[in-house]
């Protein structure tokens, strides 16, 4: 192994270790928050927050104009160029925050929820803090400062947990969720700031920075983010309109529980992968190898989690949220199957950005929107479960096969290479799901919460036992990577 390869491997291992620490702490704090709020708040409170999150999330997605990712992958950077990017981002975030605040009445009218007129202007202030913290995060990520990122994220998640629960205990309902979001974004910015300033001082004052492509990159990144966000939130837009805050609350809780492993596990690898892939973007063979290694490790960690959640959904809902959320269990079980495809689909976006082709991500998300829109419109006619089925079928049957074409066009990766690397992982995940589905078809009485946990645990044990016999090098390699990061 060359010295450069060894350095990249060391960066990846250390970055993955600290991101894993942050992820484990983050999901623990989030689950603790859900367990408390599920008993203090009503489904309508979560539904109202979901309605606002659709608007705020879109503003956050486009507020940095894609400049955060550009900052990571650009070859040369100096203090002068960084200052220009920060000024642009600050101006954009202020405009968007004002736009969100002014749109409150229109959003309330769309959802037929007058409470939003008062809530949304307050939450709009989070746009500025969130956007600036994302730029700070980008410089830390570019510099492989994952320890500082992890410590900042853990501390901000803890601050948000304390604030949210305190307001909920005081009996202020949905305001607890609003305050929690504001505290999370503001504290994240303040905690990243010292390390950001130190890294900024280490940059050259002025160089011939490679900023001539920034406009094209930013335009496609912004367009891609808008399409991606709208596509991923059409389900909530439609459900909130047709079924109100209670129906949306039931669906949102299931969606949040499903998305937790994805949002926690994937950054362990994709945060490290973007600067890593960017450094080898002209070597397709190394990119293919790195991509497949990343994909296999993501699947190794995420597949058993999602299989276990899908089977144990009734018990998880009862334990985490309480009996009044029982209707979310079947939605969670179905969406967890989709979660596996979310997990292994995300790294292709990292490779697209590393190759400097943001227009590809734009077109992918345009195609996704064209698929999701009619699927959700049809699924919504059958209620919450109809939307969940529409999401699953549109993603797995239509959009997942598209990735094979993209990988071939980007780096020349064939279908055979992909399935050779992933075959045993798919078999280990699908077999317990099929057995569980068969059992449910043969028995009219569903599994009780306690039995669902036992079935879920057995499925996870089967997954790793199968891999121990048929793909042992993967397990040994992950252990070696973790040891390398120490």
**239 within a domain of the structure (yes/no):** no
Confidence (pLDDT) at 39: 84
pLDDT band at 137 (very low <50, low <70, confident <90, very high): confident
| One domain, residues 282 and 425 | yes
Total number of domains constituting the chain: 2
| One domain, residues 191 and 265 | no
Is the predicted pLDDT of residue 164 greater than 90, yes or no?
yes
pLDDT band at 470 (very low <50, low <70, confident <90, very high): very high
Confidence (pLDDT) at 486: 45
pTM of structure:
0.68
Q: 167 is in which domain, residue-wise?
A: 1-212
| One domain, residues 163 and 272 | no
Which tokens sit at 158? 């803890």
| One domain, residues 169 and 254 | no
Is the predicted pLDDT of residue 216 greater than 70, yes or no?
no
**290 within a domain of the structure (yes/no):** yes
Question: Which of 275, 226, 215 lies closest to 67, judged by CA?
Answer: 215
Is the predicted pLDDT of residue 291 greater than 80, yes or no?
yes
- Using alpha carbons only, give the angle 297, 21, 152 rounded to the nearest 5 degrees: 130
Q: CA 400, 457, 484, 271 torsion: positive or negative?
A: positive
Confidence (pLDDT) at 297: 87
Q: How many CA atoms lie within 13 A of 485 on its CB side?
A: 20
Q: Cβ(345)–Cβ(480) under 8 Å?
A: no
| One domain, residues 403 and 278 | yes
Q: Report the C-alpha dihedral over residues 15, 16, 21, 22, rounded to 10 degrees.
A: 70
| One domain, residues 163 and 287 | no
Confidence (pLDDT) at 209: 52
Q: Cβ(165)–Cβ(183) under 8 Å?
A: no
Question: What does the pLDDT average to over 249-258?
Answer: 86
Model pLDDT for residues 337-384, shown as the tens digit of each residue: 999 998 888 788 778 877 777 778 778 878 888 888 888 888 888 888
Question: Final residue of a domain: which of 158, 192, 212?
Answer: 212
Question: What does the pLDDT average to over 454-476?
Answer: 92
| One domain, residues 152 and 286 | no
Q: Which of 225-239, 262-276, 390-404, 442-456 has the lowest average pLDDT?
A: 262-276
| One domain, residues 192 and 44 | yes
| One domain, residues 197 and 254 | no
| One domain, residues 5 and 124 | yes
**232 within a domain of the structure (yes/no):** no
| One domain, residues 207 and 253 | no
Three-state secondary-structure class, residue 324? helix
The DSSP result for 238-306, as a single string, is HHHHHHHHHHHHHHHHHHHHHHHHHHHHHHHHHHHHHHHHHHTTT-HHHHHHHHHHHHHHHHHHHHHHH
Q: Cβ(176)–Cβ(211) under 8 Å?
A: no
Question: Which of 338, 300, 274, 311 lies closest to 70, judged by CA?
Answer: 274
Confidence (pLDDT) at 350: 79
Is the predicted pLDDT of residue 306 greater than 60, yes or no?
yes
């Amino acid at each position: 192994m060359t010295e450069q390869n060894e350095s990249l491997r060391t960066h990846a291992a250390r970055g993955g270790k600290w991101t894993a620490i942050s992820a484990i702490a983050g999901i623990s704090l989030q689950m603790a928050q859900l367990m408390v709020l599920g008993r203090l708040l009503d489904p309508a409170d979560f539904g109202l927050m979901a309605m606002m999150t659709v608007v705020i999330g879109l503003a956050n997605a486009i507020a940095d104009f894609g400049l955060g990712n550009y900052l990571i992958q650009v070859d040369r950077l100096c203090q002068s160029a960084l200052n220009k990017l920060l000024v642009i981002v600050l101006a954009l975030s202020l405009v968007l925050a004002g736009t969100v605040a002014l749109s409150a009445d229109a959003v309330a009218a769309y959802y037929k929820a007058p409470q939003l007129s008062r809530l949304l202007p307050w939450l709009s202030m989070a746009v500025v803090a969130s956007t600036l913290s994302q730029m700070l995060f980008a410089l830390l990520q570019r510099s492989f400062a994952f320890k500082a990122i992890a410590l900042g994220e853990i501390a901000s998640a803890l601050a948000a947990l304390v604030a949210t629960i305190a307001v909920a205990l005081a009996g202020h309902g949905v305001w607890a969720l609003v305050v929690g979001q504001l505290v999370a974004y503001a504290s994240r910015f303040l905690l990243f700031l010292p390390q950001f300033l130190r890294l900024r001082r280490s940059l050259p004052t002025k160089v011939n920075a490679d900023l001539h492509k920034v406009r094209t990159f930013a335009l496609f990144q912004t367009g891609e983010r808008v399409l991606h966000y709208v596509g991923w939130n059409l389900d909530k837009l439609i459900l909130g309109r047709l079924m109100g805050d209670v129906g949306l609350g039931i669906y949102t809780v299931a969606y949040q529980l499903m998305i937790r492993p994805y949002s926690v596990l994937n950054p362990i690898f994709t945060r490290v992968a973007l600067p890593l892939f960017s450094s080898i973007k002209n070597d397709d063979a190394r990119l293919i190898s790195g991509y497949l290694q990343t994909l296999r490790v993501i699947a190794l960690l995420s597949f058993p989690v999602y299989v276990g959640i899908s089977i144990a959904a009734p018990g998880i809902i009862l334990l985490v949220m309480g009996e009044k959320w029982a209707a979310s269990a079947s939605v969670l079980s179905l969406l967890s199957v989709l979660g596996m495809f979310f997990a292994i689909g995300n790294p292709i976006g990292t490779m697209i950005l590393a190759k400097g082709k943001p227009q590809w991500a734009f077109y992918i998300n345009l195609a996704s929107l064209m698929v999701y829109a009619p699927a959700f419109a049809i699924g919504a006619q059958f209620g919450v479960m109809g939307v969940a089925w529409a999401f699953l079928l549109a993603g797995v049957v239509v959009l997942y096969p598209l990735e094979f074409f993209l990988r071939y066009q980007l780096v020349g990766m064939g279908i055979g290479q992909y399935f050779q690397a992933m075959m045993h992982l798919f078999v280990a995940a699908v077999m317990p799901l099929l057995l569980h589905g068969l059992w449910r078809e043969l028995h009219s009485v569903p599994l009780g919460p306690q039995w669902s946990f036992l079935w879920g645990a057995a499925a996870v044990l089967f997954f790793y036992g199968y891999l121990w016999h048929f793909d042992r090098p993967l397990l040994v390699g992950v252990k070696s990577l973790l040891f390398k990061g120490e």
